[in-house]
């Protein structure tokens, strides 16, 4: 499968996930849809790989911007920009698929976004790290269906520890603040 065709399939699957999350069809109509979806799963499983397609670390260091989780329909694709000031930035809009409290983003999903943008900033500097600690402060509910601005900046690098802070803002209101301690690991 070419990469473009894979991306198209992933996009179509995300659209399907959204449709499943919000459909209000009666039960009698859902049975036929379930059968069709099962049949698609069977068709795709005729040939499988062990793990999802991901960006290589080299691509992350060299390409600007980089798109995270482009090929995994269960994850949130994030186009990350790297401004001249050394930070990382991204804009994303979430929908009912990632709903937590009414009309708001699930807190764990905000944590995922923060881990990803903080982590990719560290990797963009050529540092191979894993998340050691991620702390989150939820200052306000993060709305669904509105553009969210994500930001990350490195505040300290001592020994193997890289400390990164970041936040999510919506309409100028900061809803989530994060601090991550990333630990350098030997390259495998
Ligand atoms: C591609 C897009 C970006 C993706 C971003 C997403 C990244 C992730 O989610 S990674 C997955 C989640 N993280 C993990 O699974 C990590 C699991 N943990 C581990 O592998 C290990 O505990 C690891 C590597 C963090 C530390 O183990 P180890 O290599 O033995 O380190 P260790 O010798 O104990 O400590 C090394 C240094 O790190 C510090 N450290 C270790 N663990 C932590 C921690 N959890 N928090 C803060 N500091 C820590 C130590 O204090 C020590 O500091 P110093 O050098 O200043 O004395």
pLDDT in tens, 161-180: 999 999 999 999 999 999 99
Where in the sequence is the domain holding 19, given as residue range(s)? 3-44
DSSP characters for 61-95? HH-SSEEETTT-TTS--EEEB--TTS-EEEEE---
Judgement on whether residues 37 and 77 belong to the same structural domain of the protein = no
Residue 16: left if φ>0, alpha if ψ -120 to 50, beta else—which one?
alpha
76 plus 133 within the same structural domain: yes
- For the chain, the domain total comes to 2
Number of Cα atoms under 13 Å in the Cβ half of residue 94: 27
- What CA–CA distance (Å, rounded) separates 118 from 134? 10
| Residue 145 falls inside a structural domain | yes
65 and 149 inside one domain: yes
Instruction: Render pLDDT for 6-41 as a digit per residue (tens, 0 to 9).
Output: 999 999 999 999 999 999 999 999 999 999 999 999
Write down the ipTM of this complex. 0.93
Three-state SS for 139? coil
Model confidence at 53: pLDDT above 90: no
Query: Considering the domain boundaries, does residue 52 fall inside one?
Result: no
Please indicate, yes or no, if residue 19 is contained in any of the structural domains.
yes
Ligand 1 pocket test, pick from 154, 158, 183, 187 with the greatest ligand atom count within 8 Å of Cβ, gives 183
Please indicate, yes or no, whether residues 27 and 95 belong to a single structural domain of this protein: no
133 lines ligand 1 (CB under 6 A): yes
Which CATH number fits the domain that encloses residue 134? 3.10.129.10
Instruction: Provide the 3-class DSSP secondary structure of residue 165.
Output: strand
Contacts for 36 with CB less than 8 Å, ≥ 6 apart: none
Residue at token pair 């919506």: 170
Q: pTM score, two decimals? A: 0.94
Same domain for 86 and 162: yes
Q: Is residue 49 part of a domain?
A: no
Residue 50 included in any domain: no
Tell me: do 24 and 87 sit in the same domain.
no
């Amino acid at each position: 499968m070419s990469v473009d065709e894979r991306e198209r399939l992933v996009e179509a699957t995300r659209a399907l996930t959204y449709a499943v999350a919000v459909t209000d069809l009666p039960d009698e109509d859902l049975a036929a849809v379930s059968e069709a979806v099962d049949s698609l799963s069977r068709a795709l499983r005729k040939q499988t790989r062990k793990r999802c397609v991901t960006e290589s670390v080299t691509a992350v260091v060299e390409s600007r911007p980089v798109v995270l989780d482009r090929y995994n329909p269960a994850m949130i694709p994030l186009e990350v920009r790297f401004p001249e000031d050394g930070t990382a930035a991204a804009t994303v809009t979430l929908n009912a698929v990632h709903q937590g409290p009414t009309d708001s983003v699930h807190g764990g999903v905000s944590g995922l976004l923060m881990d990803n943008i903080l982590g990719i900033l560290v990797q963009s500097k050529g540092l191979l790290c894993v998340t050691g600690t991620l702390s989150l402060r939820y200052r306000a509910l993060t709305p669904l269906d509105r553009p969210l601005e994500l930001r990350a900046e490195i505040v300290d690098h001592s020994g193997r520890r890289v400390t990164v802070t970041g936040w999510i803002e919506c309409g100028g209101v900061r809803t989530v603040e994060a601090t991550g301690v990333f630990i350098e690991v030997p390259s495998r």
